[in-house]
Chain A
Amino acid sequence: MKPDPKIRAVHFVLAAVFALLAAYFFFSTSTAVPSRAKIDLVDKSFLNTATWRKSYADLVREKEDLSDFDCYGCHEKGTPPTLRFDADQKLIIPSEHKDIVMGHGTHGRNNNCFNCHNENNLEVLSARDGREIKFSESPKLCGSCHGPTYRDWEAGVHGRTSGYWDRSKGPIDRKLCVNCHDPHSPHFPGRKPAPGPHPLRDQPVAHIELESHP
C-alpha cells in the first residue's frame, strides 16, 4: 500500500525535529545546575555557648580583673557611703559607678543600693533579714525575694543547665542568676538575631505584613 505523501512529509519533519532535539540535548550544557545566591557561613559568635555575663566566681576562676570588687580601694571602711536621690526619688548614680544602669523592679523602684549591698561591709551582700551573703553565693540573696524562681532554679527548671542530663555519666554545670541577669537591671536587653533561613533567591522574599486580630 502506498503511503500518503502528506503523512510521509509529516514523518520526515518529525524525524528531523527529533534528530535536532537529540543533537541539542547532547551538546548543550543545560544539565549544569543553574547558579544561585551563595550562602554565607554563620558568624561563629552565634555558636558561642557562653552566657551573656560573667559571675564573680567566673572572674575569680579565669583570673580576670577584680578591681571592680575592690570596694575599699576608694571607699573608707566603717563609714557607709551616702546615697543621693533627685526630686523624683530616683537614685543619682555617682560618676565613679556610671556603668551601672539602675532598672530593678517595676518602674525601677528597687533603687536603694543597700537593699542588696551591705552598707557596713561593701565586700559582701546583705539579705533582707541582715544576713551577710558572699558575692559567690548571690543566688541566695536573689532567692530571698524571688522565691518561686529560686525553687525552680534549684530544681534545674529555671535558667540553663549544661553538661550531663545523666548525672551518673558526668557533672551538671548550673549557671548562676548573674550569669544571665544584670542584678542592677535584670530584664534581658535585646540582641541581634542570627540570620534566618536563606531564601535561595538573590532578592529576599517580600515580607507579608499580617493583620493582627482585633
Chain B
Amino acid sequence: MSTPENQPNGEPETPGMSRRSFLRNSAVFATGLAAMAASLRPLFETTDFPSSEQFLQKYYKELNPEEMQKVLTRIEGEVERQYGIRPHVRDYKPMDGVEYVYCLNLTRCIGCRKCVHACVAENNQSRDPEIQYIRVLRMPHGSLDIEKAEHNYAPEQVPEKGYFYMPVQCQQCHNPPCVKVCPVHATWQETDGITVVDYNWCIGCRYCEAACPYWARRFNFTKPSIPKDRINPEMSYLGNRPRMKGVMEKCHFCIQRTRAGRYPACLEVCPAGARKFGNILDPESEVSRILKTKRVFIQLKEEMGTSPRFFYYFDV
C-alpha cells in the first residue's frame, strides 16, 4: 500500500482516511475541544447551583398555601445555611381597602442620607457590592432640574446653603413601565399598589431596569454579601429575604413592615419628619390630609404618564 506522501497530489485516490488527514483532523478536533473546555471554565468555578426544589419551584401566583409554606420553610433553611441565622420568612398578602401612598416634604429634607442606610439594613441589601434603593439628589434652589442634580455630595454638614435635597426611590407607579416589559411576569403590581418581584421567577434580563424612568431597580451582579450581624431576620417572600445572584430587586415600601401595619424603615429613621406614609383610601390618614391641604408640587417625571404613588410636597 502506498503512503499518501507518495501520491502525486499528496491526497489518497481512494476514499478512506490517510495518515495526514487523520493527524490534521485530530489536531482540529483537539483544538476545538480545548476551546470548548476553556469557554466552559466559569461553569466549573460555579458553586452556588440552585437546589432542585428551588429550580423547579412554581410561579408565586400558582403556589397554593401548602406549597407556599414548603417554599418558605425551604428558604428559611437556605438562609440559615448561608448566613448562619434562622430567619422568620412570611408571605404577607395585601390588605383589603388599603392603597399605600408616600409623601415626602422637600422643605424638611436635610439630605442626611439616614433613610438610605436604614433601608439597606432593613431590607438585607448587599453591602459589598453596594445596593441601595434610595438615592438622595442635591439640587440648587430655584429649579427642579434633575440634570443639575448631584448625588455624590459630601460636605462636612448638611443642609448646605443654596441647595435642597430630593430622595428618589421606587415610585410605585399606577402605570408601571417595568411591569409591562417583563417577559416572564416576574414583577407585577399588587392590589395595595406595591410593585413586587418574585426573585425565584426573575430571569435577570434587566429589561425592567431599562424601562424604569426613576432608576429605581437594582441588579445583583454577584451574590449579595451581608455580614451575619447585620441580617434582619424578619423576612418576607416578596420583600427583604436575601436575593440570589442575577435577579432584580427594588423598593417594596418595606412590605414586611407595612403589611403588618407598621411604618417603613426609611420613615422611622428620618430625623426631620420629612417622610409620610399611609393609606390613601382612609380620608383621615396623614397622606390624605397632606394631599388635600398641602402644596403637593409634583409626581416626579409626571409627563411620563407613570402616575406615581410617591408625592413630593412643600410647606412653610
Contacts and interface: CB of A to CB of B under 8 A. Distances in A.
Nearest to A175: B273
B135 A160 contact: no
Nearest to A207: B152
Given A22-B38, A26-B41, A165-B262, A210 B148 contact: yes
Nearest to B258: A165
Interface string A173-214: 001000010000000101111111111100011011010110
A180 B108 CA distance: 12
B140 A196 contact: no
A165 B261 contact: yes
Given A160-B270, A190-B159, A165 B148 contact: no
Interface stretch (A46-54, A56-64, A76-84, A100-108): A46-54
Interface in B224-262: 227, 230, 258, 260-262
A159 interface: yes
A47 B118 contact: yes
Nearest to A45: B114
Contacts of A204: 152
A38 interface: yes
Interface in B1-54: 9-11, 27-28, 30-31, 34-35, 37-39, 41-42, 45
A52 B271 contact: yes
Given A160-B273, A169-B260, A191-B110, A213 B142 contact: yes
Nearest to A213: B143
Contacts of A158: 273, 315
Given A22-B38, A46-B117, A51 B157 contact: no
A22 B262 contact: no
A125 to B, nearest CB: 23
A2 B8 CA distance: 10
Contacts of B132: 197
A157 B294 contact: yes
Contacts of A207: 150, 152
Nearest to A162: B268
Interface stretch (B60-68, B79-87, B183-191, B276-284): B276-284
A47 B128 contact: no
Given A18-B31, A159-B273, A191 B289 contact: no
A21 B35 CA distance: 8
Nearest to A38: B128
B305 interface: no
A145 interface: no
A191 B261 contact: no
Contacts of B35: 18, 21-22, 25
B262 A170 contact: yes
B37 A26 contact: yes
Nearest to A164: B261
A89 interface: no
A157 B290 contact: yes
B180 interface: no
A15 interface: yes
A18 B110 CA distance: 59
B285 interface: yes
Interface string A19-37: 1011101100001010000
Nearest to A194: B113
Nearest to B150: A210
A197 B273 contact: no
A195 B27 CA distance: 57
Contacts of A161: 263, 273, 286
A9 interface: no
Nearest to B113: A194
Contacts of B271: 51-52, 160, 180, 191
Contacts of A170: 261-262
* 4 cross-chain pairs, A with B, having the tightest CB-CB distances, nearest first: A169-B261, A190-B157, A166-B261, A25-B38
Given A26-B41, A155-B286, A156-B276, 5 more contacts: A2-B9, A25-B39, A49-B269, A193-B155, A200-B130
